[in-house]
Amino acid sequence: MGEGCKSNMEQTANRESWKQTLIAYKHPRVITMLFLGFAAGLPLLLIFSSLSLWLREAGVDRSTVTYFSWAALGYSFKFIWAPIVDKLPLPLLTRWLGRRRAWLLLAQIAIILAILWMAFTDPAQALMPMAFAAVMLGFSSATQDIVIDAYRIESAGAELQALMSSSYITGYRIGMLVSGAGALKLAAWFATGQEYDYQAWQWAYIWMAAAMAVGILTTLIITEPATESRNSRYLNTLNDYIRFLALFGVTVCSFVLLFAGCAELAQSLKQNMGGLGGFSVEAARLLIALVGAWCAARLAIHLGLARRAVFQETYIEPLADFFRRYGKAALLLLALVGLYRISDIVLGAISNVFYQDMGFTKHQIADITKTFGLIMTIVGAFLGGGLSLRYGVMRILLLGAFLSAATNLLFLLLAQSGPETSLLMLVIAADNLSAGLASAAFIAYLSSLTNISFTAFQYALFSSLMTLLPKLLGGYSGSIVDTMGYSNFFMMTALIGLPVMLLVWLAGRRLKVTNHSPRWQR
C-alpha cells in the first residue's frame, strides 16, 4: 500500500512538473523568441538550399553551387565585429530604441536590402554580383544573430533559457520553411514553364524581403532587456569610437587582402587534390589570414591608431574571463562547441542538390523536406527544451549527438534506393526530429557558458566556432561527392559525428568535477 501511494505521488509530481513546463512556454520572453527566431531563420536558406536550386537551374555547376555556402561564413566570424555591436551606440537609433533594439533594426534593414539585391541579380548573367549580395546577406544576418543571442541571454534568467531556446528554434525553423519551401513554391508558381525562369526566382526573393517585416515589427514592439552588458570603460567619446572603428577596418582589410592574396597559390595546390585535400589547403589559407589580421591589429595599436586598453577590454578580457572560469576544461569545451554540429552542417550544404539529383521534384522537396521537416523540427525542439529542463542539458546533448550521427546513415539508404517518397519522409522525420532536439539543448548549453558582462562577444565566439569548421568542410561537399559518391559521403558524415559523443561525455564529467555547471544544466 505504501509503495502504491508513493508511486501515485510520483506520477502526480511528474504530471505537475510537465504542466509547469508547458505553462512556462507562455512566458512573454519565450513567445518573443518565436518571432525573433523567425527573423533569424528566414535569411539562412536564401543563401543555402533555395539559392543552390536557383543556381543549378541557372546552369551553375555543382561544385560552384556548394562554394556559395561560404557566403554564410559571416556567421563563423561574427565574433570579430560582435564588440562593435555590443559597445558602440548608433546615432539617433540607440537613443530611441536602446542599444540592442537599435542594432537589431539596422541589421534587419540591411537584410532586406541584401535580399532585394539578390532578387534583382540574374546569376546566369552576373554570378559575381550575386556572390557579393549573398555575402552581404550573410554579414547582415550574422549581425542580427549577435543581437538576438545577446537579447535572449540578457532578457531572462537561466531557468528560462532552455525553453527560450526551443521557442527560438521553432521560430527559426518556421523562417526556414518560409525561405525554403515558401521560396520554392513561389518560384514554381511564378514560373512560365521554361527550363530556367529568372523572373520567377526574382519575385520569390522579393516576397522573402517582404516577410522580414515580421522581424522589424517585433523589434519595434519588444522592450529593451533590463540587464545589458557592462558599459565600456574607454569608449566614451566620438574620437574613441572612430579610432576603434578604424582598428576594426584595418583588421578586416588585412584579413581580406591576405585571404584573397593566397587564392592563386591555394588554387594551384588544390588542382591535384580531392575534396578533403582542398579543404586542408583552405583551412591553412584561413589560418594565415587570421594570424595576419591579428598581427595587423597589434601593429595598428602599437602605432597609436587605437588605445591598447580598448583592445584589451574588447577582445582579451572576454577570452581571459572564459579561461579563468573553466580552467583546463576550457579547451575541451571549445572543442565540443566547434564539432557538435559538424555532421548536420556538412550534410546540409548539399542536401537539396542531393534531392534534386535523386529525381525529386521541386514540389516534393518543398512539401517533404521543408514543410513536413519543419513539423518534425518543432516537435524535436519542444521535446529538447522540455527534456533539458527535466533531465539536464548534458544528457540531452549526448542523445542529440548520437541521433545526429545515426540519422545520417538513413541518407545512405535513400541514395541507394532512388526517389522513393515514403523513404524520404522517414529520413526527413528522423533527421529533423534529432536536429531540433539537439539544437534546443545546444543553444541552452552555449547560453550557460557566457558571462553576462561579455554576453555579445562570448556567445558570438561560441556560435562562430560552432559553424566555422563544418561550413568550411561543407563548402567542399560537392567536390567530395564528385570524388567518392553520395553513399560514401553520407557514411563519412556519420563517422565524423562519433567523436562528438565522447566530447559531450568528457565535458559533462569535467564540469561536474569542477562544479562550473549550473544545477539546471546538469
- Express each pLDDT in 15-44 by its tens digit: 445 555 555 566 678 889 999 999 999 998
Q: Mean per-residue pLDDT for 167-190? A: 88
Q: Mean per-residue pLDDT for 285-304? A: 85
Please state, in angstroms and rounded to a whole number, the distance separating the CA atoms of residues 53 and 419: 17
Please state, in angstroms and rounded to a whole number, the distance separating the CA atoms of residues 376 and 438: 13
Which whole-number Å values give the CA distances from 364 to 179, 223, 369, 421, 435, in the listed order? 16, 41, 8, 8, 21
Cell matching residue 102 = 537599435
Q: Mean per-residue pLDDT for 104-127? A: 95
User: What are the DSSP calls for 37-52, one per residue?
Assistant: HHHHHTTHHHHTHHHH
Please state, in angstroms and rounded to a whole number, the distance separating the CA atoms of residues 370 and 360: 13
Rounded to 5 degrees, φ, ψ at 272 are: -105, 20
Cell matching residue 484 = 567518392
Residue 226, pLDDT > 80, answer no
Residue 67, pLDDT > 90, answer no
Range with the poorest average pLDDT among 21-35, 245-259, 303-317, 445-459 = 21-35
Cell matching residue 405 = 550521427
447 in Cβ contact with 304 (< 8 Å): no
Q: Mean per-residue pLDDT for 174-190? A: 89
Please state, in angstroms and rounded to a whole number, the distance separating the CA atoms of residues 54 and 299: 44
Mean of per-residue pLDDT scores for the chain: 81
Looking at the chain, the whole-number percentage of residues with pLDDT higher than 90 is 21
Q: What contacts 425, CB < 8 A, 6 or more positions away?
A: 368, 372
pLDDT digits (tens, 9 = 90+) for 90-111: 888 988 999 899 999 999 999 9
Residue 394, pLDDT > 50, answer yes
Residue of 204, 70, 209, 197 lying closest to 123 (CA atoms): 197
SS3 call for 377:
helix
Q: CB-hemisphere CA count at 13 Å for 398?
A: 14
346 in Cβ contact with 473 (< 8 Å): yes
If pLDDT is split at 50, 70 and 90, which confidence band does 520 have? very low
**Pick the residue with more confidence: 519 or 220?**
220
Most confident segment among 163-172, 188-197, 208-217: 208-217
If pLDDT is split at 50, 70 and 90, which confidence band does 66 have? low
Please state, in angstroms and rounded to a whole number, the distance separating the CA atoms of residues 428 and 437: 14
Cell matching residue 97 = 530604441
Q: How many CB atoms lie within 10 A of CB 399?
A: 19
pLDDT of 203 reads 96
Q: How many CB atoms lie within 10 A of CB 188?
A: 15
Cell matching residue 48 = 543555402
**Pick the residue with more confidence: 324 or 155?**
324
pLDDT of 270 reads 66
Burial class (CB in 10 A: 0-12, 13-18, 19+), 365: buried
366 in Cβ contact with 181 (< 8 Å): yes
If pLDDT is split at 50, 70 and 90, which confidence band does 82 have? confident
Longest Cα–Cα distance of the chain, Å, equals 81
pLDDT digits (tens, 9 = 90+) for 343-391: 888 887 788 788 888 888 877 887 888 778 878 888 888 888 778 877 8
User: What are the DSSP calls for 179-196, one per residue?
Assistant: IIIIHHHHHHHH--SSS-
* Count of residues in the chain: 522
Q: Using alpha carbons only, what angle is made at residue 509 by residues 508 and 514, rounded to the nearest 5 degrees?
A: 100
Structural domains of the chain, with CATH: 24-234+307-514 (1.20.1250.20), 235-306 (no CATH)
Residue 442, pLDDT > 50, answer yes
